[in-house]
Amino acid sequence: MATLIDAPPPTVAAPISKSAGGGLGRYILIRFLLIFPTIFILVTLVFFLMRITGDPITAAQGGRLPQEQIDALVHQAGYDRNLFIQYIEYLGHIATGNFGRTISDGRPVIEMLAKFGAATLELSINAVMVALLVGIPLGMFAAHKRDKVPDAVLRMFAILCYATPVFFAGLLLKLTFSVGLGWFPVAGRASTTTELAMGRLAAPTGVYWLDALRSGNLAAFGDIVHHAVLPAVALGLLTAGVFLRLVRTNVIGTLGRDYVEAGRSRGVSEYRLVTKHAYKPALIPIITVMGLQIALLLGGAVLTETTFEWKGLGYQLAQYLTARDFVAVQGIVMLLAVIVAITNFAVDIAAALIDPRVRY
């Protein structure tokens, strides 16, 4: 982590050589096409890794049923057939959006993914907002106060942020601000009243604060934000620490450039140099690193959701893992992998749009 943060700026996505053709359109096309083999490899890996331990029904039943009944269920589900044929069928099914049904509670996997994916998306958006709101201003401030006490304090704060396990941070925040001070709710995405209201909204996106805003229910919006603060901070601080160090390093690097030196010699204040001239170039690597952080964020969401009863994909993943429901687990892992692949694609495009050097 330290190597990544202290690396010289602006290291971004690997540039495509001119011999590859260049041009934004071609760059986007190649990056887009790369998504498919990535997802294909992930799907294959997940499928076969899940089957190392045997068929999903035997794993989920855990010996509760007589062997004959398990055999009948395995046969009925087709898990006793050739594994390669099952794999080809599985590919066919997911190509048409059919992920099957969960073994433990029989619900369609695709519905489960849509419902709980929205909750995880909401938590991730909240966490990214915390990371940006905390990491960028504090990083710029630390650069402005370079080698002074505030800088040292902020650097220590950054290290604490990304070195503290997310479940520990969550627990600490909960104990302090929920149990101790009583400022925030202990668990959940909203109070019961709001949860019921959200369930009754005609066309909810599943992202509660968005649904509340769309329906103009400001009381519900306030309640949702109130519930979202601690989980978002617990998860967002992990990335905020990375952003803080990255912004600080890049701003300091930019402040040493000739054009900034020229500004300085003309009597432009240090504050103005940081806020007007150095911050833009310093933000470019943030976008690239954000792509890398998405995977970390989703990993952290599993722990944060469990700590705060935030019923999203991470929470469900823990439930289904306990139940040995590998059909559900396979679906969730697949979706998370697809999100990471697509996010990285989006980040690559954003980086290319902001910094033309990326695509040449």
Partner 1 sequence: MTKSTKALRSAIALAGVSAFALTACTGPSGGGGGGSTASENASSVIAYGTTDKVTALDPAGSYDNGSFMVMNQIYSFLLNSKPGGADPVPDLAESSSFTKPTEFTVKLKSDLKWANGHVLDSKDVKFSFDRQTAINDPNGPASLLSNIDSIATPDASTVVFTLKNANDQTFPQILTSPAAPIVDDEVFPADKLLSDEEIVKANAFHGQYIIDSYNKNTLVSLKAWPDYKGVLGKPANAGATIKYYTDQTNMKLEVKGGQIDVANRSLSATDIDDLKKDSSVTVHVGPGGEMRYIVFNFDTMPYGAKAPEADPKKALAVRQAAANLIDRQAISDQVYKGTYLPMWSNVPSGFVGANESFKQAYGDGSGKPSLDKAKKVMSDAGITGPVTIKLQYNPDHYGKSSGDEYAMVKDQLEKSGLFTVDLQSTEWVTYNSASKKDSYPVFQLGWFPDFSDADNYLTPFFVRGGFMNNHYSNSEVETLIAKQLVTADKAEREKTIQEVQNLLAKDISTLPLLQGAQVAVSGTKVKGVDSTLDASFKFRLGTVSK
**Does the protein bind partner 1 through residue 107 (CB under 8 A)?**
yes
Rg for the chain, CA atoms, rounded: 24
Q: Which pairs with CB-CB distance under 8 Å and at least 24 residues apart come from 328-331? A: 328/102, 328/103, 328/104, 328/109, 328/112, 329/50, 330/46, 330/47, 330/50, 330/99, 331/99, 331/100, 331/102, 331/109, 331/110, 331/112, 331/113
**Does the protein bind partner 1 through residue 69 (CB under 8 A)?**
yes
- Please identify, using beta-carbon distances, which residue of 106 and 356 lies nearer to partner 1: 106
- Give min distance, CB of 146 to partner 1, in A: 43
- Please identify, using beta-carbon distances, which residue of 107 and 257 lies nearer to partner 1: 107
User: Of 156, 158, 167, 153, nearest to 135 (Cα)?
Assistant: 158
Q: CA 152, 157, 160, 163 torsion: positive or negative?
A: negative
- Give min distance, CB of 64 to partner 1, in A: 6
Contacts to partner 1 from residues 76-105, by CB under 8 A: 104-105
- Give min distance, CB of 227 to partner 1, in A: 11
- Give min distance, CB of 82 to partner 1, in A: 25
- Give min distance, CB of 206 to partner 1, in A: 11
Contacts to partner 1 from residues 322-341, by CB under 8 A: 324
Segment (H or E) for 331: helix 326-354
**Does the protein bind partner 1 through residue 152 (CB under 8 A)?**
no
- Give min distance, CB of 228 to partner 1, in A: 16
- Please identify, using beta-carbon distances, which residue of 198 and 349 lies nearer to partner 1: 198
Binding site for partner 1 (CB under 8 A): 59, 61-65, 67, 69, 73, 104-107, 178-179, 182, 185-188, 191-192, 195-196, 199-200, 306-309, 311, 315, 318-319, 324
